[in-house]
Structure 1
Amino acid sequence: MDRTFDPRPVLLSALDQLEKLAARLDPARLDRPTPCTEYDLRALLGHTLGAVHRIAYVGEGGRGMDLPAAAGAIEDADWGGAFGRSRDRLAAAWADAAKLDREVEVPWGRVPGRVALGGYVMEVVTHTWDIAQVIDPEGELDEELGHMALGIAQKVLPAAPRGGELPFGDVQPVPADADVHTRLAGWLGRKV
């Protein structure tokens, strides 16, 4: 990853997008399946929220593996608020730009803060697409965020081999005219 790239504004924008999407959630959809097949919508929202709290905790000086990538009980109508609060925590935890070059520990190893945050850009943008497929499949997602996340994914994840310790399925084919979020989903192994 470029040593001058500051992923903080991108990640905060991704969280803004996710907060707005989650605020429109019809709680009757919480038990529906998502393209991230190991999670229904409630579980995926909880996983994504937990991941945001995990990277905020890392910015506060903690080890990434100390916290699960899962949220506790969230009221059905408060997912938007929960993401807003996690965004605020993350912004405060990473406000000091010096943290971007410090080594931090995240689930995939010890990396500079900017690399860790880049990984979470990819995770949040991808899971926002997964979540949008249930909440608002016809809605539009920010293309610039999609391009950023796809660029990160293609730099850090090989097309093959996949599996084992790498928690992504094989790259899936997508239509030639697919939008950037669909291409990102396919790169990360989602069947689209």
Structure 2
Amino acid sequence: MARAATPLLKIINDVAPHQLDAPTPCAEYDVRRLVNHLLFWGPSLEGAGRKETVPPPAASEAELDLTGGDWATALTAQVERVSAAWAGPDAWAGSTHMGGPTELPAALVGGMIVGELVVHTWDLARAIGAAPSWDDELLDYVHGEVVKTADQGRQMGVYGPEVAVPATAPTLDRILGIVGRDPGWSR
């Protein structure tokens, strides 16, 4: 989890105020809405690592704006808490919840969160003109996880329609294609 989060922690502080309204490769979100998404769901993802059910706020994600004030410090702290909650092997064992009553295998939830961190870091980076990088071992892991959850992710509306990417493309590009991102996206 920490290896997936490290590039995000660097990019958070590179977002300039004028970039909050910039589009991202995730069609549903500009930078502000993507930051809001990460802040909104962060406590639930953190709770999942501690085997605690932490429901999202009562207001919907669209109704609640968490990007006021020093959002960069708040998001940095939230990402660090998520990483810490998933740091030990107990977090990955057994089952857990992602904010709701349904129990899921903890390893599945952890894999989904690692994928979420990688993809949304890439989204933010592309929006502001940065280039995050992860090690090959982590990207191979994320690729395996998104392949396992692709159909479910599309049914849930979490992944978009798959974007065709050559099998010989870099692993990150193949991950992005599976979850519905165009690896060649630019502003």
TM-score calculated relative to the size of structure 2: 0.78
Q: Give the drift of 1:127.
A: 0.8
CA contact (8 A) 1:126 1:149 kept: no
1: CA distance, partners of 2:120 / 2:83: 20
Structure 1 partner of 2:78:
86
CA contact (8 A) 2:39 2:66 kept: no
Runs of 5+ unmatched residues, structure 1: 1-10
Counterpart amino acid of 1:82? A
Q: What are the within-5 Å matches in structure 2 for residues 103-118 of structure 1?
A: 103-106=95-98, 109-118=102-111
Runs of 5+ unmatched residues, structure 2: none
> In the superposition, relative to structure 1, how do residues 143 and 124 fare at CA in structure 2: closer, same or farther (>3 Å)?
same
2: CA distance, partners of 1:166 / 1:98: 29
Question: Is 1:153 aligned to 2:142, yes or no?
Answer: no
Q: Give the drift of 1:75.
A: 4.6
2: CA distance, partners of 1:41 / 1:54: 21
Tell me which of 165, 168, 172 is aligned to 1:181.
Answer: 172
Q: What are the within-5 Å matches in structure 2 for residues 20-39 of structure 1?
A: 20-39=10-29
> In the superposition, relative to structure 1, how do residues 135 and 90 fare at CA in structure 2: closer, same or farther (>3 Å)?
same
Structure 2 partner of 1:101:
93
Counterpart amino acid of 2:34? L
Q: What are the within-5 Å matches in structure 2 for residues 30-69 of structure 1?
A: 30-63=20-53, 66-68=55-57
CA contact (8 A) 1:23 1:78 kept: no
> In the superposition, relative to structure 1, how do residues 76 and 129 fare at CA in structure 2: closer, same or farther (>3 Å)?
farther
Counterpart amino acid of 2:107? R
* CA RMSD of superposed structures (Å): 2.9
Q: Give the drift of 1:89.
A: 1.9
> In the superposition, relative to structure 1, how do residues 53 and 188 fare at CA in structure 2: closer, same or farther (>3 Å)?
same
SS in 2 for 1:83: helix
TM-score calculated relative to the size of structure 1: 0.76
Q: Give the drift of 1:55.
A: 1.1
Structure 2 partner of 1:136:
129
CA contact (8 A) 1:15 1:83 kept: no
SS in 1 for 2:8: helix
1: CA distance, partners of 2:70 / 2:178: 32
Q: Give the drift of 1:26.
A: 1.6
> In the superposition, relative to structure 1, how do residues 92 and 176 fare at CA in structure 2: closer, same or farther (>3 Å)?
closer
> In the superposition, relative to structure 1, how do residues 72 and 15 fare at CA in structure 2: closer, same or farther (>3 Å)?
farther
